[in-house]
Amino acid sequence: MNKNAVMALDAQYYLPVFARYPIVLERGEGPYVYDNEGKKYLDFLAGIAVNLLGHGHPGLVKAVAEQAGKLIHCSNLYYTEVQAKLVQKLAQRSGLERVFIANSGAEANEGAMKLARKYGKLQSESKVEIITAQHSFHGRTLATLTATAQEKYQKGYEPLPQGFSHVPFGDLTAMEAAVSAKTCAVLLEPIQGEGGVHVPPAGYLKAVRELCDKHGALLIFDEIQTGVGRTGTFFAYEQEGITPDIVTLAKGLAGGVPIGAFLAREEVAQAFHAGDHGSTFGGNPLACAAALAVMEAMEEEGLLDNANKLGQLLQDKLRQLAQKYPGVITTVRGRGLIVGAELAGQGRGIVEACLEKGVIINCTAGNVLRFVPPLNITAAHIEEVIAVLDGVLKEHGAF
């Protein structure tokens, strides 16, 4: 089918919930994707931080193909070796003793909040409040969009679930005022991704950890976007010298195969009993095999070091562009290979111009160019992106 035919089918039958760009992607190889007209694009969005190993990674392809030939799905009424191996690896990597495998980030966050509520009620029937940060993003189910303190995602879905409150991200004074005996958990992204790649002040997350301990509240880190090496360590929280009570993962964990997970301390996990939570597809052998392949590649290919080194190079290059175009880029921030370049105006036009020139990035929060490429990119790929962006900004001029 040609591009127009595909787009016409989508327009006729798909729910009108996506503002898609007018290309039809057909295949990928490494950090590149190709549309059905043969045009090549350098993919620095990676499925929104999902395609951790790029496209067509041999180890991932082999693991998925082999597992598909053996067993794709198995009910959680039974055991599988591949699931057991994955939860062992995640538990050992995190220092959190228990793991539940789901299908998405929203499901992982739902499960984490359910567990926090159940654990809180063991202490007091009133210990049910969950505190999140403004401009966060935790998912699109009713509970997770309530936790997502952005009105644009909540409008039209009222009444929203009760028991949530929101404070400014990085504001310790506001957090101290909000946490009380009724707080069962504080849920934070170590770096806000969808909210604009916001990095909290130094020491903030550690101070929140101490505050939660003081009030008997759980600390939950949403590492849907920052986890699995994106920031240069497997979990972003490792860089803060702390450990949460619960952490959630998804996106890059299986390199593109849908998966989610939440991990918890043993004491917290024991609040759940058989029948308290579940998932039909969660932890299926195909997704688990893909996740194991991703974790193996990360270890064997030095992807954490690469994310640190290449992330710093990307920020340095973007700051050079900010100096060259001071009326366009105002701030560059991030950690590892989650990087944001804040603009003085709206960014969609710049994203569209880059796409036309064969580079895929995106704009979040309206005015922040977001770069979340595969973790196995090279310096040459960064130079290619910067050259295209330089040309686009030159043509764009100041806002």
Domain stop point among 301, 318, 336: 301
Cβ neighbours of 398 (radius 10 Å): 10
Q: Are residues 191 and 263 in the same domain?
A: yes
Domain stop point among 258, 274, 301: 301
Q: Are residues 14 and 37 in the same domain?
A: yes
Residues catalogued as catalytic: 137, 222, 251
Domain stop point among 251, 270, 301: 301
Q: Are residues 52 and 140 in the same domain?
A: no
Kind of pairing, strands 368-371 and 362-364?
A: antiparallel
- CA angle in degrees (0–180, nearest 5) for 26-31-32: 40
Give how far Cα 13 sits from Cα of 7, 8, 10, 17, 222, Å: 10, 9, 5, 12, 33
Q: Are residues 84 and 212 in the same domain?
A: yes
Can you give the pLDDT of all 399 residues of the chain as single tens digits?
A: 999 999 999 999 999 999 999 999 999 999 999 999 999 999 999 999 999 999 999 999 999 999 999 999 999 999 999 999 999 999 999 999 999 999 999 999 999 999 999 999 999 999 999 999 999 999 999 999 999 989 999 999 999 999 999 999 999 999 999 999 999 999 999 999 999 999 999 999 999 999 999 999 999 999 999 999 999 999 999 999 999 999 999 999 999 999 999 999 999 999 999 999 999 999 999 999 999 999 999 999 999 999 999 999 999 999 999 999 998 999 999 999 999 999 999 999 999 999 999 999 999 999 999 999 999 999 999 999 999 999 999 998 878
Q: Residue 398 has what pLDDT?
A: 79
Q: Are 388 and 74 in contact (CB under 8 A)?
A: no
Q: Residue 399 has what pLDDT?
A: 83
CATH number of residue 32's parent domain: 3.90.1150.10
Q: Residue 156 has what pLDDT?
A: 96
Instruction: Tell me if 98 is assigned to some domain.
Output: yes
Q: Is the sign of the CA dihedral 171, 175, 178, 184 positive or negative?
A: positive
Structural domain of 9: 3-56+302-396
Tokens 């067993």 identify what position? 71
Tokens 């969609």 identify what position? 348
For residue 31, cis peptide bond before it (omega within 30 degrees of 0): no
pTM of the model: 0.97
Q: Residue 339 has what pLDDT?
A: 98
Instruction: Domain count for the chain, please give it.
Output: 2
Instruction: Tell me if 279 is assigned to some domain.
Output: yes
What are the tokens at 291? 């996740």
Q: Are residues 260 and 282 in the same domain?
A: yes
HEC profile of the chain? CCHHHHHHHHHHHCCCCCCCCCCCEEEEEECEEEECCCCEEEECCHHHHCCCCCECCHHHHHHHHHHHCCCCCCCCCCCCHHHHHHHHHHHHHHCCCEEEEECCHHHHHHHHHHHHHHHHHHHCCCCCEEEEEECCCCCCCHHHHHHCECHHHHCCCCCCCCCEEEECCCCHHHHHHHCCCCEEEEEECCCECCCCCECCCCCHHHHHHHHHHHHCCEEEEECCCCCCCCCCCCCHHHHHCCCCCEEEECHHHHECECCEEEEECHHHHCCCCCCCCCCCCCCCHHHHHHHHHHHHHHHHHCHHHHHHHHHHHHHHHHHHHHHHCCCCEEEEEEECCEEEEEECCCCHHHHHHHHHCCEECEEECCCEEEECCCCCCCHHHHHHHHHHHHHHHHHHCCC
Instruction: Tell me if 146 is assigned to some domain.
Output: yes
Q: Are residues 259 and 325 in the same domain?
A: no
Q: Residue 396 has what pLDDT?
A: 87
Q: Are residues 25 and 150 in the same domain?
A: no
The string over 70-94, giving b where at least 16 C-beta atoms fall within 10 Å of a residue's C-beta and e elsewhere, is eeeebebeeebebbeebbebbbeeb
Q: Are residues 269 and 151 in the same domain?
A: yes
Instruction: Tell me if 142 is assigned to some domain.
Output: yes
